Structure 1
Amino acid sequence: MDNFFDMITLPSIITFLRFGLDLFLVWILFYYLISIVRKNLRTLQIFKGILIILIVKLLTTALNLKTLGYLVDTVLMWGAVALFIIFQPEIRATLEKIGKANLSAPVRSTMDTAKKHYILDEVTRALQFFSTNRVGALISFELNQSLEDYITAGTQIHADISYELILTIFYEGTALHDGGMIIQGDKIACASAFFEPTTRELSPIYGARHRAALGLSEVSDALTIIVSEETGNVSFAKNGELIRIPLVELWDRLAKELGWEDTIKEGK
């Protein structure tokens, strides 16, 4: 016991505190970065890949794995150049988010049951009209991952959701009908948004709207609704899948996918 207390000296205490501060600052840095990139799936995938490579590098150094360490060093040396070339838009977006980031939690609007009912009613009525009259439409609901980059690139509206406005946006005579509409919370955030189409092979029965919706579902958790101009069929795109939805189930399925089951329980 005496030897233990003899080892506790001022330099050892300072070294221990420095080590603890170092770990704490690294933890803060990772938490800060994850809080920034977690709402964009592409950026998050890049961050996870870098993190895995760094972990492997630490293991190869600690276990003295020379061959694997050489491969990791090669990846780090040339991979950094390839990373900046291939993912330049995502890296730029991440750096912009870091510069604009606020450490406080984002404030999101809360909607009561009546508001959810209203949104479901207005959107469902519009989709039924489009389906019956063979009007093509593409509507995306922002969920947990931000669609701000798409909103900024589209024609920003930030208007209340209404049946009449949705019909006007997708009316073929308007300049906004070509592209996607994004609903953010209880507002129509933008129209004429461009979604990078999927690169997967699809049946010829699926057109540009379906490909765009699938492309968005592959890089975000958004729920995207497609109305086919040729058939009038209504489909949901989420998690890289297309699901055809019968009109009679549209209201309920939309409420379920949005996580608004409480609205269903309250009754229409």
Structure 2
Amino acid sequence: MNTILPILVVDNNYIAKEVAILAGIAIALELIILLLVVFLVIFKNKKGWWIINRKSHMTVLGSSEKRMLSSLLSEAIIKLSEEKTGALITIERSMPLNQYVDLGIKIDSEVSPQLLQSIFYKESPLHDGAVIIRLGRIECASTYFPLTNKKISSQYGSRHRAALGISELTDSVSIVVSETTGAVSIARDGKFLQVENLNNLVRTLFDELASSKEMANQLQ
């Protein structure tokens, strides 16, 4: 007795189509996984900035360079304080201040106490706004930051509000000189540090800019 076996008809076009679909799904899954990894890396950065593997500007400067920068800034700030000349100097750290640099007047000069005094001189066209220090150089002058929404003492003016505002948005360090009293304040992480003794200003600034390792070496 002869047995009739069913004949399996293979549609090559159908198989090719299914393989293509599966390959497309695999590629899509790989892309999704890649995007998730990128997403996690981005938001691992401090305060959610869209930066991947960016080195801190302050870590580019060595300990001796930070100490020199602190010394030059202190010399300028003490003079501005004595003359009660209002000033706002912001030091960029790991979070770039590009949008604020673009708003200001490009300087790109070495830090000089005399130049800083000239910029903030009351008759200077650049005295309003802030100076941004980047990589140990004066990057720009006469730029403006968003003001803080916090309720702060009435003794603080717009410079103080701007310094606090930028410290809330970035990890920058800002030094403010009051044009009313000559008092010096440092804004960082949304808080003010009042500088009571200007003789210790160099050390205070260095401590604000230095890494924990550099500070430990200073104490040894």
TM-score (ref. length: structure 1): 0.63
How far apart are residue 154 of structure 1 and its match? Answer: 0.7
The SS at the match of 1:183 is strand
- Whichever residue aligns with residue 34 of structure 2, its letter is I
| CA distance in structure 2 between the aligned counterparts of 1:19 and 1:257, rounded to whole angstroms | 51
How far apart are residue 211 of structure 1 and its match? Answer: 0.7
Contact 2:120 2:126 (C-alpha < 8 Å) held by counterparts: yes
Q: Which protein has the larger Cα radius of gyration, Structure 1 or Structure 2?
A: 2
Report whether the alignment pairs 1:25 with 2:31: yes
State the partner residue of 2:173.
223
State the partner residue of 2:209.
258
How far apart are residue 231 of structure 1 and its match? Answer: 1.1
Call closer, same or farther: CA 1:134–1:145 in 2, change over 3 Å. Answer: same
- Whichever residue aligns with residue 68 of structure 2, its letter is Y
The SS at the match of 2:76 is helix
Contact 2:69 2:136 (C-alpha < 8 Å) held by counterparts: yes
Flag the structure with higher helix content: 1
| CA distance in structure 1 between the aligned counterparts of 2:28 and 2:200, rounded to whole angstroms | 55
Query: Which of residues 193, 196, 199 is equivalent to 1:243?
Result: 193
Identity %: 31
State the partner residue of 1:165.
115
**Please, what is the CA RMSD of the aligned residues?**
3.5
Contact 1:116 1:260 (C-alpha < 8 Å) held by counterparts: no
Call closer, same or farther: CA 1:189–1:264 in 2, change over 3 Å. Answer: farther
Counterparts of 1:29-68 in structure 2 under 5 Å?
A: 29-30=35-36, 32=38, 41=47, 44=48
Contact 2:63 2:210 (C-alpha < 8 Å) held by counterparts: no
How far apart are residue 169 of structure 1 and its match? Answer: 0.9
The SS at the match of 1:119 is helix
Contact 1:127 1:227 (C-alpha < 8 Å) held by counterparts: yes
The SS at the match of 1:235 is strand
Call closer, same or farther: CA 1:193–1:264 in 2, change over 3 Å. Answer: farther
Report whether the alignment pairs 1:200 with 2:150: yes
| CA distance in structure 2 between the aligned counterparts of 1:121 and 1:264, rounded to whole angstroms | 19
Q: Map Cα deviations across residues 100-155 of structure 1 (whole Å, 9 max, x no partner).
A: x9x88579683334422321111010011111111111000111111000000111
Unaligned runs of 5+ in 1: 1-9, 46-93, 95-100
| CA distance in structure 2 between the aligned counterparts of 1:265 and 1:250, rounded to whole angstroms | 19
Call closer, same or farther: CA 1:26–1:160 in 2, change over 3 Å. Answer: farther
> After the TM superposition, which of the residue ranges 22-31 and 239-248 deviates more from structure 2?
22-31
How far apart are residue 209 of structure 1 and its match? Answer: 0.6
Contact 2:119 2:127 (C-alpha < 8 Å) held by counterparts: yes
| CA distance in structure 2 between the aligned counterparts of 1:107 and 1:237, rounded to whole angstroms | 19
| CA distance in structure 2 between the aligned counterparts of 1:220 and 1:126, rounded to whole angstroms | 24
Counterparts of 1:177-216 in structure 2 under 5 Å?
A: 177-216=127-166
Q: Map Cα deviations across residues 56-76 of structure 1 (whole Å, 9 max, x no partner).
A: xxxxxxxxxxxxxxxxxxxxx
| CA distance in structure 2 between the aligned counterparts of 1:153 and 1:40, rounded to whole angstroms | 24
Contact 1:135 1:227 (C-alpha < 8 Å) held by counterparts: yes
> After the TM superposition, which of the residue ranges 113-122 and 210-219 deviates more from structure 2?
113-122
Contact 1:113 1:263 (C-alpha < 8 Å) held by counterparts: no
Higher relative CO (Cα under 8 Å, sequence separation at least 6) belongs to 2
Contact 2:163 2:174 (C-alpha < 8 Å) held by counterparts: yes
Report whether the alignment pairs 1:122 with 2:72: yes
The SS at the match of 2:108 is strand
State the partner residue of 1:112.
62
TM-score (ref. length: structure 2): 0.76
